[in-house]
Amino acid sequence: MENNKKIKVHIADDHQILIDGIVAVLKNEENIDVAGHSLNGRLVIDWLNENKADVLVLDINMPEVDGLEVLRYLKKNKLELPTIILSSYDDVKLVKEVLKMGADGFLAKKCAGENIVEAINSVYNGDQYFSNEVQKDLVAAAVGKTIRKKVHQDGVFSSSLTDRELEVLQLISIEMSTKEIAERLNISTSTVDTYRKNLLQKTKAKNSVGLAMYAVRNKLL
Amino acid sequence: MENNKKIKVHIADDHQILIDGIVAVLKNEENIDVAGHSLNGRLVIDWLNENKADVLVLDINMPEVDGLEVLRYLKKNKLELPTIILSSYDDVKLVKEVLKMGADGFLAKKCAGENIVEAINSVYNGDQYFSNEVQKDLVAAAVGKTIRKKVHQDGVFSSSLTDRELEVLQLISIEMSTKEIAERLNISTSTVDTYRKNLLQKTKAKNSVGLAMYAVRNKLL
DNA sequence: AATCTTATCCCTATTTTTAGGGAGTTGAAA
DNA sequence: TTTCAACTCCCTAAAAATAGGGATAAGATT
């Protein structure tokens, strides 16, 4: 019952309805206290400057300042705050990206509200938490429970995209042709072709549209 | 208090958490009864074949069968079911598209849960309901309260894209090639090519990536 | 009755993308 | 010092997309 024993949670999502839902679910939990909630990343950072949370539940897609930027901010300022990513997609590629950026959990929105309780308790205790399907995929990727270590030790999960590849991906996403990209980057079209091939392989996209959609999904633009 | 006076609502959204939130909000309303809920469009249609709802609250982005397809189904089967579109974005273009397809309300998810009560009552009474910002934009587009009539009378709001074009656009956006689309729609590749040309012209996109990005921007997926 | 929209299909030709392959340089890490 | 990742470039060939053009049938609208 004591307040100082409760896990203080901050929830960030641009959908008020979803926040309401999570709050409703967490209201039944005695050891969890929703200390605050924000509708975008800017508000999260502002809030964290004034208050303290034990766990952050963070949506990726938010206006103005999105979840990835909040993660970057936390990392840069060496704020060790257990963070669970809320996502509409249980995209393995996105999981990898956010893990690399310091997130500790990944919860697909389509998961029932009850899982969020588990997730919060897990990351609060220093563990990691992943949605079912995500976890399956991760396991399929031949990794056990030491995911974080893997990530930080040998970069198994680090985003497969190099700087240059990302650059090319971004230019593809703004409707540039190979020739245009080559001119823009002052490299030959052959080189751009190589990046295209690597991108298609790494993102498992079928064509340029798939590359652009990958960029959209993973907020790479 | 009588059950037969309650408005039977069916909620469709692929995020369980969001459904939980809406159910929690509607639980406090005496004249509204959440008769059912579904995680994708296929389940909505299945449910409607077995049950009756007075109002449908429908998310656009759902796996397998999305909200737009449900709207198409309702239209094709002449099912007059007041429908409120739940969307992550209050994109005017999307509003136009769904209005054209027979929706009666448009609620941005970022709106507080209370608005949904108003929205449900409105469409149940034959009126239309729109989120604040959407409404503003619609007014700005020089239209008053006879939106539906306008839509059905002179197509002021009809998107420049025809049904078939939209269909092709969506298939392009999921990385399908012209040949694949032709097979899926049982038309010739020449026809698909024609739609591609028209789409490129209408959306002012430079290539398929541009088309996909247009679809993303306008939430046509 | 004449017009317009939508959906359908075809032809030609060029440009772009995709799919294989290989290969050299550089800089950083082991 | 060797190894490795990243960046760069090239060759060949097939598949796909883009850019013009035109055409017909069904339906609704004027």
Mean pLDDT score across all residues of chain B: 76
Quick check: B13 pLDDT over 60? yes
d(CA B31, CA A102): 46
Please report the pLDDT score of residue A86 as a whole number: 85
Give the pLDDT band (50/70/90) at residue B181. Answer: very high
Please report the pLDDT score of residue A140 as a whole number: 37
Q: Enter the pTM of the model.
A: 0.50
**A211 shares contact with chain B (CB less than 8 Å):** yes
d(CA A150, CA B74): 50
Structure tokens belonging to residue B43 = 């389940």
Question: Given an 8 Å threshold on Cβ–Cβ distance, is B18 in contact with A22?
Answer: no
Please report the pLDDT score of residue A213 as a whole number: 94
Question: Given an 8 Å threshold on Cβ–Cβ distance, is A18 in contact with B18?
Answer: yes
Question: Given an 8 Å threshold on Cβ–Cβ distance, is A116 in contact with B175?
Answer: no
DSSP symbol at A4: G
Please report the pLDDT score of residue A138 as a whole number: 46
| Beta-sheet pairing, A105-108 with A129-130 | parallel
Quick check: B66 pLDDT over 50? yes
Question: Given an 8 Å threshold on Cβ–Cβ distance, is A110 in contact with B24?
Answer: no
A71 neighbors A28 (Cβ within 8 angstroms) = no
Question: Given an 8 Å threshold on Cβ–Cβ distance, is B208 in contact with A208?
Answer: yes
Please report the pLDDT score of residue B3 as a whole number: 45
**B16 shares contact with chain A (CB less than 8 Å):** yes
d(CA B74, CA B53): 13
Delimiting residues of CATH 3.40.50.2300 domain(s) in chain B: 3-153
Delimiting residues of CATH 1.10.10.10 domain(s) in chain B: 163-217
| Phi, psi angles (nearest 5°) of residue B134 | -60, -45
Give CA separation, A141 vs A44, A107, A147, in Å. 33, 18, 11
Q: Which residues pair with A8 in a beta bridge?
A: A33
CA quadruple A209, B217, B59, A136: dihedral, nearest 10: 40
Rounded to the nearest angstrom, the gap between the alpha carbon of residue B43 and the centroid of all alpha carbons in its chain is 16
Please report the pLDDT score of residue A116 as a whole number: 85
Structure tokens belonging to residue B149 = 């009539």
B3-153 is a CATH 1.10.150.120 domain:
no
d(CA B185, CA B188): 9
Q: For residue B207, which residues of chain A lie inside 8 Å, CB to CB?
A: 175, 177, 208
Q: Which nucleotide is nearest to B158 (CA to C1')?
A: C5
d(CA B132, CA B115): 10
Which has more pLDDT, B31 or B212? B212
Q: How far is the CA of B116 from the C1' of D29 (A)?
A: 39
CA A137, A143, A148, A153 torsion-angle sign: negative
Most confident of A22-26, B43-47, B87-91: B43-47
**A208 shares contact with chain B (CB less than 8 Å):** yes
pLDDT tens digits, B127-152: 667 765 555 444 433 232 233 322 22
d(CA B57, CA B37): 9
Place of tokens 């604040």: B132
Average pLDDT per run of 10 along chain A, which is 221 residues long? 72 85 81 89 87 90 75 77 79 64 77 76 76 50 30 32 90 96 96 96 92 85 81
State in words which class domain B163-217 has.
mainly alpha
Please report the pLDDT score of residue A158 as a whole number: 30
Give, for A179, the enclosing helix (H) or strand (E).
Answer: helix A178-185
Give the pLDDT band (50/70/90) at residue B113. Answer: low
166-205 of chain A touching strand D, CB 7 A cut-off? 185, 187-188, 190-191, 193-195
Give, for B85, the enclosing helix (H) or strand (E).
Answer: strand B83-87
**B139 shares contact with chain A (CB less than 8 Å):** no
Angstroms from B136 CA to nearest CA on chain A: 19
